[in-house]
Amino acid sequence: MEPKIIKGGGVTSALGFRAAGIACGIKPAREKDLALIVSDVPGEVAATFTTNLVKAAPVKVSMQHARNGKIRGVVVNAGCANACTGVGGIADAKSMLDHVAKEFNSKPREWLVCSTGRIGTRLPMPQVRKGIEKAATKLSLENGTEAAKAIMTSDTRRKEFAMRIKVNGRKVTIGGMAKGAGMIHPNMATMLCFITTDACIDKPTLQSCVDEAVEHSFNRISVDGDTSTNDTVIVLANGLSDTNLLKSYHPQFALFKKTLTHVMRKLARMIVEDGEGITRVVDVVVKGAASVQDAKLAARAIAKSELVKTSWTGGDPNWGRIMTALGYCGARVREEMVEIYYDGVLAVVNGQPSKTPMAKLKKIAAKPIFTLTIHLHVGSGEYSILTTDLTEEYVRINKGE
């Protein structure tokens, strides 16, 4: 059976998960800024954290807690990253966990914590503590959507998605929520993603599924090329679907992994589509590279080139700038072998302009979503990355006035 999309599904679609999203006073104007996700029973956890050497306090704390032992849930705040806050910031992150643990008569190390927002400011802890108490009273299935709202920063819309499969004749659900719109680049973006599932799966197997799914989703998106200090993907599996354990030899294991990857890819795409100020979403596909690594270098250079991205803003299929990026990306490139396609229409052949009329290519580059395919014809390495254009609005949003 193919996975089914759960309409309106999200972080509370799987059995035994409740959530809440409330305003505690970190953000101005009573905007929601604190979310809580709780499993009725302790579950397995697998997580991926930012590769940035400058890690926020909640990342440092959650990395420890995610290492072993079961997890009850996650507390998340928006409006303050709790990054570059020294030992005080670590104490704040731990205090959040102490507080949430007390509410649920559990141990602090059964909880994870995430923060997102401006770097270098401390959390207003009295408000945060009161917020946690309040959130604990608001937990429900319906409030999954409120939680998805509470983790937003520069996001213009909430990001939720869920799917259901059948395992041993029982329903298994994978659902989640994410946030992110800027500081988005592989390994990883300022993005937070929380996925819950009622699957029966052990920790190492879950972690291997998460690693693979992240590699094919959140590690393949780029808005502005900046990797944040707070990026986190957390997957909680509470086992309430009560199926056989999903080990690699289980007949439905591949289906589970594929569905988890699909949920992450969907949430990753939502992040790109909500990218700050963007007007185009571009699937950059590199084929025929000397190696996968080379294909990655080429795809990333294009996704990071200010000149390529601004040309898309103007609906200009400026392949000269793409050739330029290919030339400096570090991959093996033979100019005279390069082919470039916009939505499958040949723009460059043998490193030179094709006979396709410019007007036809311009029409494609002006679309809100298109695919740029580059064939290097020097090997069989492939890689793709989902990126955006670079607009005046992006600059306006980020210039901080």
Answer yes or no: 190 catalytic. yes
Token reading at 50: 């930012």
Question: Quick check: 118 binds its own copies (CB under 8 A)?
Answer: yes
Of the candidates 228, 238, 373, 388, which one interacts with its own copies according to CB under 8 A?
228
Q: Between 135 and 184, name the residue whose CB sits nearer to its own copies.
A: 184
Q: Which of 48, 190, 229, 259 is catalytic?
A: 190
> What residue spans of 190-245 are helical by DSSP H?
203-215
* Cβ 112 vs Cβ 145: under 8 Å: no
Closest CB 329 distance from its own copies, rounded Å = 9
Q: Please give the Cα distance from 321 to 221 (Å, whole number).
A: 20
Token reading at 349: 């052949």
- For residue 227, the one-letter residue type is T
Binding mask 164-203 for its own copies (x = CB under 8 A): ------------------xx---x----------------
Q: Between 32 and 321, name the residue whose CB sits nearer to its own copies.
A: 321
Q: Please give the Cα distance from 272 to 281 (Å, whole number).
A: 7
Closest CB 23 distance from its own copies, rounded Å = 23
DSSP letter for 336, please: G
Q: Radius of gyration over alpha carbons of the chain, in Å?
A: 22
Binding mask 350-379 for its own copies (x = CB under 8 A): xxxx--------------------------
Q: Please give the Cα distance from 111 to 269 (Å, whole number).
A: 28
Closest CB 45 distance from its own copies, rounded Å = 24
Of the candidates 116, 229, 241, 387, which one interacts with its own copies according to CB under 8 A?
229
**Number of shown-chain residues binding its own copies (CB under 8 A):** 61
Q: Please give the Cα distance from 84 to 229 (Å, whole number).
A: 9
Token reading at 2: 């193919």
137: number of CA atoms within 13 Å, CB side? 4
Site residues (vs its own copies, CB under 8 A): 51-55, 81, 83-86, 118-121, 182-183, 187, 224-229, 304-307, 310-311, 313-316, 318-321, 323-328, 333, 335-336, 348, 350-353, 390-392, 394-396, 398-401
| Residues assigned a catalytic role | 190
